[in-house]
Amino acid sequence: MAAKSSKTSRYTETERKFEVVEATVAPSFDGLSAVARVERPPSQTLAAVYFDTPDRDLACHRITLRRRTGGTDAAWHLKLPAGTDSRTEIHAPLDDDTPEPSVPESLRDVVAAIVRDRPLAPVARIDTTRVLELLHGPDGAVVAEFCDDQVAASAVGGDEQSWREWELELGPGGDPDVFDRLTNRLLDAGAVPAGHGSKLARVLGGTPDTAVVADDPLRRAVAVHIAELIEWDRAVRADAWDSVHQMRVTTRKIRSLLQSAEESFDIAENQWILDELRELAAVLGVARDAEVLAQRYETALAELPEANVRGPVRERLVDGAKKRYQTGWRRALAAMRSPRYFRLLDALESLVASEPPAAAKGGKPAELSIDAAYKRLRKAAKKAARVGDDESLHRIRKRAKALRYTAAATGDNRVAERAKVVQTLLGDHQDSVVSRAHLSRQADAAHAAGEDTFTYGLLYQREDELGRRCEDGLDDALKKLHKAVAK
């Protein structure tokens, strides 16, 4: 059973690792203008137990999870990739009340899209005797930490290994130039860059291989977007700005590409995956729409003369949308913590890793997928010309979006860019439609409460004018798209 949720803290860690032999003498940092003083605290004895799933799913994503005791940072540590040499490190306090420590739910939730409901259990133990030097700059700030580590480690059920290594971590007072100069000191002393990204990778024999996707541009694109979905999942759980929108966009990209290459993925046998992707996008859409409206009204009200902002309009429009965002975000989190969501992720990964159906082997020409997507868009455009309502225009946008994703996946950037123009134009139109409907409802509520509704009328007029401009620009955008497809 998982430990109770704990308060977490986040850090950005930038470090480099080096291999050295026992006889290597630790470097001197004398003579460097960036280092004014070297502080040598007492040596530390660190004990860490590392956790992963049976298939080492965390290691496949270059993520480490450990429970460390000893030293000044005894805690649960979750390390996530954050660029070259850098990682985001999330700490959760130790829970000493449990006889068998288990991963805090607060950390497990961060990587839930990766581990899902699979068990997390110890995979290795690493004990380190560390000699630490804190390198202070002229202003007294720590520019870097130099660690000389003696390591004894073993995988669960494996033999013990031992080695010596150095670590150089950038401090809050350092910069990349200082980091490079300090690195050169270590190399001059006889160190070589480590052949492993972490102590855990060394003791377990490297990072597990990821699945190889078939040589098919649409299948490769789907695989890339699934990886992006998992990344955006983590951002949504952290409530990062625009993350709900981006996760929703990625969900729709996957669904659109699966439909474009339905023969390659045998979608007839996996229709439920498309249905689940649609449901996931709908759940995310509640928070996304509220986030867009909050930003939209905040910007619009700031542009109006203060005299034209009458009554508690900010509270109704901006604050109200932010509250709806929080409600929608919590609803999205609930869905993303469910076995149903985990099974969808399992199915998506299995789908791209599976062999294409016999009928699709040899690859479907990219032009055919683009042509099919464009024909659906043309059909929607012809219907919109007859009907001329908001829903028919929204349908063109969805078809343009599908064409854009297919063209981008197959390398036709010209078609992708022209389709994006149509999608963006009608996306702005659809946002204005949603906003106008919302403004009407809020104006009615304000009127019923005896409030001044003048500002709602001004905002409605702005949205109506935007919608008309979008409609006026559609024909030209569609003509340019047609030329791009025809070439």
pLDDT the model gives residue 360: 52
**For a pLDDT cut of 90, what percent of the chain falls above it?**
76
What pLDDT is stored for residue 4 in this prediction?
40
Going by pLDDT thresholds of 50, 70 and 90, the confidence category of residue 5 is very low
Q: Domain ranges in the chain? A: 9-204
125 pLDDT exceeds 70? yes
Say if residue 79's pLDDT is above 50.
yes
Q: pLDDT value at position 383?
A: 92
Res. 359: pLDDT tops 60: no
Tell the residue number behind the tokens 């699979």, with chain if given.
Answer: 118
Helix axis angle, 243-260 relative to 271-303, nearest 10°?
140
Residue 118 has a CB neighbour count (10 Å cut-off) of 14
The answer to whether residue 3 scores a pLDDT higher than 50 is no
Distance CA 311, CA 301 (A): 12
Quickly state the pLDDT bin for 409 (edges 50, 70, 90): confident
DSSP 184-196: HHHHHTT-EE-SS
Which residue type does 135 have? Answer: L
How much is the pLDDT for 368? 65
- Check pLDDT > 60 for residue 364: no
Position 215 pLDDT exceeds 90: no
Amino acid at the residue 176: P
Over residues 281-319, the pLDDT tens digits come to 999 999 999 999 999 999 999 999 999 999 999 999 999
pLDDT given at position 84: 75
Dihedral-angle region of residue 29 (phi above 0 means left; psi in -120 to 50 means alpha; beta otherwise): alpha
Instruction: Evaluate if residue 117 carries a pLDDT over 50.
Output: yes
- Average predicted confidence (pLDDT) for the chain: 91
Residues 6+ apart with CB under 8 A from 476: none
Tens digits of per-residue pLDDT, 428-474? 999 999 999 999 999 999 999 999 999 999 999 999 999 999 999 99
pLDDT higher than threshold 70 for residue 211 = no
Q: What is the pLDDT of residue 284?
A: 97
Residue 145 has pLDDT above 60, yes or no: yes
Question: CA nearest 309: which of 321, 320, 301, 298?
Answer: 301
Least confident of 55-69, 210-224, 248-262: 210-224
Q: For residue range 235-246, what is the model confidence (pLDDT) as tens digits?
A: 999 999 999 999
Q: What pLDDT score does 257 carry?
A: 87
CATH class of 9-204: mainly beta
The percent of residues above 70 in pLDDT, for the chain, comes to 93
Kindly list the distances between the CA atom of residue 372 and the CA atoms of 37, 407, 485, in Å, as whole numbers in the listed order.
Answer: 68, 11, 11
Helix (H, G, I), strand (E, B) or coil at 331: helix
Residue 367 pLDDT level (bands cut at 50, 70, 90): low
Does residue 214 have a pLDDT over 70?
A: no
Q: Reply yes or no on whether the pLDDT at 407 is more than 80.
A: yes
Instruction: Specify the 3-state DSSP secondary structure of 3.
Output: strand
User: pLDDT tier at 260 (50, 70, 90 boundaries)?
Assistant: confident
Residue 386 has pLDDT above 60, yes or no: yes
Strand 142-155 relative to strand 160-170, pairing: antiparallel
- Which is more confident, 387 or 445? 445
What's the predicted TM-score (pTM) here?
Answer: 0.85
pLDDT confidence of residue 122 = 96
